[in-house]
Amino acid sequence: MFVRLKRSVRDGHAYEYLQIVRSYRDNGHVRQQVLATLGRRDVLAASGQLDELLRSLGRFSTSLRVVEAVRSGGMQARHAKAAFDYILGCRMRRQREVSDEVLARAGRYETGADNLEIKEVSVKQRRCVRCRNPEEAKKDAAARDAILAKLETTLERNGPKAIIGNRGLARFVKVQKGSVSIDAAAVRRDARLDGKFVLTTNTDLLAGEVALTYKSLWRVERTFREEKSTLEVRPIFHHRDDTSIGHIVASFLALRLEVDLQRRLDAAKVDVSWPDLMRDLAQVQAVTVDLDGQRYRLRTDMFGIAHHAFAAAGVRAPSSVMLLGPSPPEAPTPEPCPYLVDNTHRRDRNCRKPV
């Protein structure tokens, strides 16, 4: 058995219905029999009946029950004590434990680094850390207001069918007695999560250290992108293992220098964007000039925030003009080959007679 999507056009409008269909063989031919029609797809999805039906059917499947148990409780909930230290992010919209207990606990937040408000909560002998960023909360509220404004405009101009398949809009919709309206309860539930994220851990780190450690994981994700783009590890134009390994090691050393520079910038409380810093540093170049028998090295002007990198690293920026010494003697101009009569003959490398 399977679920089939049946499309129908009536009075100039297209409708989609979900049907439960059974396949069977009749004298060597495959036949299909409609066992039940569940209803219109848009109505079932907006009202939540489709999700309830899937959860109800999942109770009779062992595989689905195991997957759902891991999703709802987390993998660490299946073990009394994990064999390793972990810091995991929780799915606040899907885990009832988070929404019903962690977010519902009253109490004051402690102010931490990176503009974070942190509060530690214990749930069923498990340690959870609730974090809130006021700036991100404002952004989330503004994004939701924009979605609601778009939803109201879409419902007014195009009707309910225009939001079919759009999960971003459908999660704020309520279908009741044939009418579609904005679900105020869903809006309040979403506003409750503004700027927040919940972590669970078995480490002995302080709550503030847990939050900062989790936020620093973005460096790991960015490392893989930079190894292929910024540091240009690929393509590798080497044909031996030792040279290829040396190429990769040099790339990781460059990454190590980047991490050290970023830490120094953070310690100096210099808030700069790394792509912007690399763009400005790339414009700092050296130009060699020979003038009056002397050779000079000129540095281009530093623009933007390039000077922050030198200051954070404790390195003095190169001088704008640096005397390198006397200009080297000019190389003698090679005499033209007497046999270069035209370009129609093939010649050897030592400029002998045309072959």
CB-CB contact of 196 with 131 (8 Å): yes
CB-CB contact of 69 with 62 (8 Å): no
Among 177, 192, 156, 161, which residue's Cα sits nearest to residue 45?
A: 161
What are residue 180's DSSP bridge partners? 175
Whole-angstrom distance, CA of residue 207 vs CA of residue 50: 39
pLDDT at 80: 42
Radius of gyration for the chain, computed over Cα atoms and rounded to the nearest angstrom? 33
Looking at the structure, do residues 257 and 297 belong to the same domain, yes or no?
A: no
Question: What is the domain range of residue 239?
Answer: 217-267
Residue 338 included in any domain: yes
Residue 156 included in any domain: yes
pLDDT at 352: 52
- Least confident interval from 26-40, 181-195, 325-339: 325-339
**Average pLDDT of 162-170?**
70
CB-CB contact of 163 with 170 (8 Å): yes
> Structurally, how many domains does the chain consist of?
4
Looking at the structure, do residues 286 and 349 belong to the same domain, yes or no?
A: yes
| Higher-scoring residue by pLDDT: 355, 41 | 41
Residue 169 included in any domain: yes
pLDDT > 70? residue 278: yes
**Torsions phi, psi of 283, nearest 5?**
-85, -10
Neighbours of 138 (CB within 10 A): 12
pLDDT at 79: 44
Which tokens belong to 116?
A: 């974070």
Last residue of a domain, one of 248, 267, 286: 267
pLDDT > 70? residue 234: no
pLDDT > 50? residue 355: no
Whole-angstrom distance, CA of residue 320 vs CA of residue 312: 20
| Higher-scoring residue by pLDDT: 251, 70 | 251
The interaxial angle of helices 49-58 and 62-73, nearest 10 deg, is: 110
pLDDT averaged over every residue in the chain = 78
Looking at the structure, do residues 175 and 225 belong to the same domain, yes or no?
A: no
Looking at the structure, do residues 346 and 284 belong to the same domain, yes or no?
A: yes
Count Cβ atoms within 10 A of the Cβ of residue 127 and give its class: 0-12 exposed, 13-18 middle, 19 or more buried. middle
pLDDT > 60? residue 70: no
Residue 114 included in any domain: no
Looking at the structure, do residues 257 and 280 belong to the same domain, yes or no?
A: no
CB-CB contact of 65 with 54 (8 Å): no
Whole-angstrom distance, CA of residue 36 vs CA of residue 21: 7
Count Cβ atoms within 10 A of the Cβ of residue 180 and give its class: 0-12 exposed, 13-18 middle, 19 or more buried. buried
Whether this prediction's pTM lies above 0.75 is answered by: no
Residue 238 included in any domain: yes
* Cis amide linkage into residue 336, ω under 30° from 0: no
- Least confident interval from 151-165, 226-240, 250-264: 226-240
